[in-house]
Amino acid sequence: MIVYYAMGKNKLIVWFSAWLAFMILVVFLTQPDSRPSKFDEVSFQTTESAELYFRNVRSFYYNFREEGGGAFDAYRFSALYEDTLSFGVRFVIYNSWRQNMAFVRVDTNYTKFAATDYLVSASANGDIDSIRPPDQYNESHYDFAKNVFLAARAKNRIGIPQKTDTLWVSESDMANIRQTLRDYFKLIGKI
């Protein structure tokens, strides 16, 4: 009787192992090559959990101010505003908790673009790409922030071409821009 019980238990282990191996094989065979990009669809909606995470954990690193008659909470990454003399692209995150929406905009108080300016994204292998500055609409600011974030995440240098030279954003500012935009895109559920 004891021998039969032990054989039944081994049979169960064998069946479970075969089932587990089959499930792992199915997962590997049906796994997509890469995750689809969520950046292409413009959306400003936030979830309550992402908003709570941002307010309770990440907002410690930001200067906070109410703007728009109290309709928006404006967050500016503190480290980007310590050095006001160097060239940089500064972003501000506007959060409307009443509407569960968040917007990112170039902080025009600190970043000035002429209509003909454009940012250059230069990679380590010599490829150069142009990023146009945004117009007044939120979708344009979103696209600009997306392009800057993807360039910063790829560790590309960003700068504005001058007459004969390029004015590059410093490496420390690039890390801060990357963190600001990462926080924003995490707030709206893109990453």
What pLDDT, on a 0 to 100 scale, did the predictor assign at position 115?
A: 58
Query: Tens digit of pLDDT for each residue in 39-80?
Result: 888 999 998 999 999 989 998 999 999 988 888 999 998 877
Q: What is the mean pLDDT of residues 1-18?
A: 68
Query: Tens digit of pLDDT for each residue in 132-162?
Result: 878 888 899 999 899 999 888 888 888 877 7
3-state secondary structure the chain: CHHHHHHHHHHHHHHHHHHHHHHHHHHHHHCCCCCCCCCCCCCCECCHHHHHHHHHCHHHHEEEEEECCCCEEEEEEHHHHCCCCCCCCCEEEEEECCCCEEEEEECCCCCCCCCCCCEEEECCCCCEEEECCCCCCHHHHHHHHHHHHHHHHCCCEEEEECCCCEEECCHHHHHHHHHHHHHHHHHCCCC
What pLDDT, on a 0 to 100 scale, did the predictor assign at position 111?
A: 67
Query: Tens digit of pLDDT for each residue in 93-125?
Result: 999 988 899 999 988 666 666 656 777 777 767
